[in-house]
Structure 1
Amino acid sequence: MTGMTQPDAAPSAAALTGLESLQVRLDGPVAEVTLLGPGKGNAMGPDFWRELPLVFATLDADPVVRAVVLTGSGKHFSYGLDLPAMMGTWAPLLGGDALAGPRTGLHGEVRRLQAAVSSIAECRKPVIAAVSGWCIGGGVDVITAADIRLASAEATFSVREVKVAIVADIGSLQRLASIVGEGHVRELALTGKDVDAARAERIGLVNDVYPDQDAVLARARELAAEIAANPPLVVQGTKQVLSVNTERQVAEGLRYVAAWNSAFLPSKDLQEAVQAFVERRAPEFRGE
């Protein structure tokens, strides 16, 4: 009939083209999302933080997609935050004064990055992270928002923020406790140490370890297909019911750390960390 409003077509993952930091490939009911960078080691710059929530909102809404594999291009999953690329946005928010305007802007920026990572956890389709090489800082934030984590034997993990004078604020501190336990979270977050795949498996950060990158990606695809073969609404319901156990605690923790960092993140130690990174030297922190 003419004059009647037609319902909007369901969002399609097939339309996710032309992205700068992510690539989406469909294989039947399984979507494969690959981190592309464009920074070295798939470092997470402005394009990543803009595109990640768009991608996962689309995958959530696409009725064809039943499971998602998340992996990195090249040898590494991700070096984490692309600090030099992000400083153009952050520099005005990290000034030495304590005015409310910059602090409010910083709070909003932290919440924006948190929401980008949370889009993975909020996607109703189960997400399997296949990790090879380095998975640092923001990379750990991302995989802790996934449902299942697998690693290759050479994978290395680090909650590195403490090393650069930042309280991790995008999800790792809120989600890791339910994955690896409180004691392991505190050790990882307070030391910023590197953890190899064998230790990651022992503490439960990853479910299984495979010989190499090809093997872990193959297993992630198999597991996604196995999940996708089950009744989709029941799978989504199961994920949502499981998430109820922790989602309120995670949300409260994210709100708290955003407020904490908007008040205390700007520091001489942070400036020193950035300068040392640029100059490729060890930082000298003074607690200022």
Structure 2
Amino acid sequence: MAPTNPTFNPPPPHVDSHILISFPTPQILLVTLNRPRSMNCISNAAHAQLVQIWSWYDSIPSLRCAIITGAREGSRRPAFCAGQDLKEWQASADQGRPTGRVGGFAGLSTRVGKKPVISAVHGICYGGGLEAAANTDLIIAHRDSSFGLPESARGVVAIAGVLPRIAVTVGLQRAGELAMTGRLLTAEDAKAWGLVNEVVEGDVVEAAVRWAQKICDQSPDSIIVSREGIRSVFSGDGVDEANRKIEEGSWVGLQEGENIKEGLKAFVEKREVRWVDSKL
């Protein structure tokens, strides 16, 4: 799939060669971690750049879905992301692991955000890589991928937000199996556990773009509000309180917007719907 070359105001944030930004369609952002010889481990500098990217993405109305993946060209072992750059971490071990990062690992593991992100995983998805992917909205995995939290074998802990989140996703005992025994999941295992949406044999980014396009085909207002409702499970509020906040917040904005009117009108007139960029 040939990338498009849309223009944005403001333009995308500046990034170094370890992160690539492209646009498979004018509505889809693709972020590629580009350290294949280091299994796409993420440095402290890359963390800061990724935080800026996700913030920028949420601010651009014409972008409706994002994908994150890992470069494979030149790698000895394909990887989505094998986690934190441990060499950098070890060199500053007396300072401890950086904490309090906005959005968590890769700007994703504790990200709330406004719009969806899809993980396109081909190869290793360990440690911080899984912390980031587990908090994205969908995960598409190549059949040769594997998932794990091996931190305990290195004397550290997956502390960037994945532990409570993975327990919600796969259940308490399975989360314990991942975090406390070092078990590695195949892509099919991860799908059976409810962590992965689809396992593919071909190009995982192309598959993720197909999923992203399905999201782009829906009302962008509905996607934003629905996503907020789904993620309210992590807010600590009860169901009634979480729903009340949405009804009194973003749902009001949706009802005042153009897309709800357009969707209902297109249904009555039996024609294709023409969404406009969300103002939420």
Quick one: structure 1 residues 113 and 236, their matched pair in 2 at CA, closer, same or farther if it must change by over 3 Å?
Answer: closer
Give 2:22's aligned residue. Answer: 25
- Is 2:215 aligned against 1:217? no
Quick one: structure 1 residues 181 and 117, their matched pair in 2 at CA, closer, same or farther if it must change by over 3 Å?
Answer: farther
Q: Once the 2 structures are TM-superposed, how far is the Cα of residue 73 of structure 1 from its aligned partner? A: 0.6
Please, which runs of 5 or more residues in structure 2 have no aligned partner?
A: 1-7, 73-77, 238-280
Which structure has the highest helix share of the two?
1
Q: Alignment partner for residue 73 of structure 1, among 41, 48, 71?
A: 71
- Is 2:48 aligned against 1:16? no
TM-score by length of 2: 0.74
SS at match of 1:52: helix
Runs of 4+ in 1 over 2 A off after TM superposition: 14-21, 90-94, 113-121
Give 1:182's aligned residue. Answer: 172
In 2, distance between residues paired with 1:25 and 1:60?
16
Q: How does 1:108-127 map to 2 (within 5 A)?
A: 109-112=98-101, 115-117=104-106, 119=108, 121-127=111-117
In 1, distance between residues paired with 2:87 and 2:107?
23
In 2, distance between residues paired with 1:123 and 1:51?
16
In 1, distance between residues paired with 2:80 and 2:55?
21
| Stretch moving more, 59-68 or 173-182 | 173-182
SS at match of 2:178: helix
In 2, distance between residues paired with 1:203 and 1:183?
11
Letter in 1 for 2:232: V
RMSD between aligned residues:
2.1
Give 1:258's aligned residue. Answer: none
Which protein, 1 or 2, shows the higher relative CO under an 8 Å CA cutoff with sep ≥ 6? 1
CA contact (8 A) 1:21 1:38 kept: no
SS at match of 1:168: coil
Aligned length: 223
Letter in 1 for 2:191: E
In 2, distance between residues paired with 1:113 and 1:84?
22
Give 2:240's aligned residue. Answer: none
Q: Once the 2 structures are TM-superposed, how far is the Cα of residue 200 of structure 1 from its aligned partner? A: 0.9
Report the identity percentage: 26
CA contact (8 A) 2:116 2:136 kept: yes
In 2, distance between residues paired with 1:230 and 1:115?
29
Give 1:257's aligned residue. Answer: none
Give 1:37's aligned residue. Answer: 35
Q: Once the 2 structures are TM-superposed, how far is the Cα of residue 147 of structure 1 from its aligned partner? A: 0.4
In 2, distance between residues paired with 1:55 and 1:114?
11
Give 1:58's aligned residue. Answer: 56
CA contact (8 A) 2:36 2:71 kept: no
Quick one: structure 1 residues 140 and 113, their matched pair in 2 at CA, closer, same or farther if it must change by over 3 Å?
Answer: farther
CA contact (8 A) 1:76 1:134 kept: yes
Q: Once the 2 structures are TM-superposed, how far is the Cα of residue 16 of structure 1 from its aligned partner? A: 3.1
What per-residue deviation string (whole Å, max 9, x for no partner) do you get for residues 194-236 of structure 1? 1111111111110111114x1x221110110110121112211
TM-score by length of 1: 0.72
In 1, distance between residues paired with 2:165 and 2:177?
15
Give 1:245's aligned residue. Answer: 233
Letter in 2 for 1:110: T
Quick one: structure 1 residues 170 and 133, their matched pair in 2 at CA, closer, same or farther if it must change by over 3 Å?
Answer: same
Please, which runs of 5 or more residues in structure 1 have no aligned partner?
A: 1-9, 95-105, 250-288
Quick one: structure 1 residues 11 and 58, their matched pair in 2 at CA, closer, same or farther if it must change by over 3 Å?
Answer: farther
In 2, distance between residues paired with 1:20 and 1:112?
22
In 2, distance between residues paired with 1:87 and 1:11?
39
In 2, distance between residues paired with 1:127 and 1:113?
16
